Amino acid sequence: MESYFVGENLWEVVCGNAVVAPEDTQEKADVLKDWRMKNAKAEFLFKRSISHGLFEHIIGCKSASEIWITLDGLLNKKNMARLQMLENELANTTQGSLSISQFFLKIKNLCSEISLLDPEEPISEARMERHIIHGLKREYIPYVTSIQGWDRQPSLLEFEIFLLHKSL
């Protein structure tokens, strides 16, 4: 949504430096008129873009900025709950009956989704590798131990290929 509002030159009334209507004075009549037009367009875009379930939360909002703040609060709570659920799933994921490729893919997908929800703290390859090592079947522990003694640690892809060859 942010990109669209920026492209339509409406971001300033949503979350920029013009979120509050200018004073209604003779000198600022044109500025106020412009603000009202941009705010109305932004409100219209919000109302046309959101689901019926969210609409009831914004019905009382007086400006596009207020709608943005309301939606941000609602959706970020859901994102934080989803983020916590994914973090818990990542911490508890084990290889079980999955092949090496399936297990690596599952961890990578979880990490990717977590990183999308929390872009300020993306999951590093090293952290991903730690989760993989933690969840591997016991039969792979000797191989992991041998890798830890190497001068140069393998990339995640090299690590996966190494374990794939050991599982054949």
Angle, helix 156-167 to helix 141-148, in steps of 10 degrees: 140
Q: Distances from the Cα of 71 to the Cαs of 13, 16, 44, 68, 101, in angstroms?
A: 15, 16, 14, 5, 39
Give yes or no for a contact between 107 and 96, defined as CB atoms under 8 angstroms apart. Answer: no
User: Of the candidates 163, 157, 105, 108, which has an alpha carbon nearest to the alpha carbon of residue 137?
Assistant: 163
User: Cα–Cα distance between 85 and 135 in angstroms, integer?
Assistant: 17
How many angstroms from the chain centroid is the CA of residue 110?
12
User: Of the candidates 84, 93, 99, 83, which has an alpha carbon nearest to the alpha carbon of residue 133?
Assistant: 93
pTM surpassing 0.85? no
Residue 168 confidence (pLDDT) above 70: no
Higher pLDDT, 77 or 80: 80
Residue 77 confidence (pLDDT) above 80: no
Residue 78 confidence (pLDDT) above 80: no
User: Cα–Cα distance between 14 and 5 in angstroms, integer?
Assistant: 8
